[in-house]
Amino acid sequence: MRCDSKHRRRPAERTALIDNAVQTFILNGQSTAATHVDRVLDNLAAIIAACAEPGRFGYRIHPNRIERPDIDP
């Protein structure tokens, strides 16, 4: 899991994610480790369901949901 969203500011990293069909979950880097764990556990069913999807994806993990932001160029 990634703990930042620097791929939005780094075009080469963003391209690498897209070109290599990366499946990723993004957590807010400003939160504590305990908060990250809570968010993952609270959203575990949705995370497992997302992992069943083929191909690339990226989800942001929020306190009570996961959200699929647009990472395509």
Q: What pLDDT does residue 9 have?
A: 65
What's the predicted TM-score (pTM) here?
A: 0.71
Bridge partners of 67, per DSSP, are 60
What are 7-55's pLDDT values in tens digits?
Answer: 556 778 778 777 887 888 988 778 899 999 999 999 999 999 999 988 8
pLDDT at 3: 45
Asked if the structure places residue 17 within a domain, the reply is yes
Domain range for 1 is 1-26
Residue 1 lies in a domain: yes
> Is residue 5 pLDDT above 60, yes or no?
no
Name every residue whose Cβ is closer than 8 Å to that of residue 63 and which is 6 or more positions away in sequence. 38, 39, 42
**Domain count of the fold of the chain:** 1
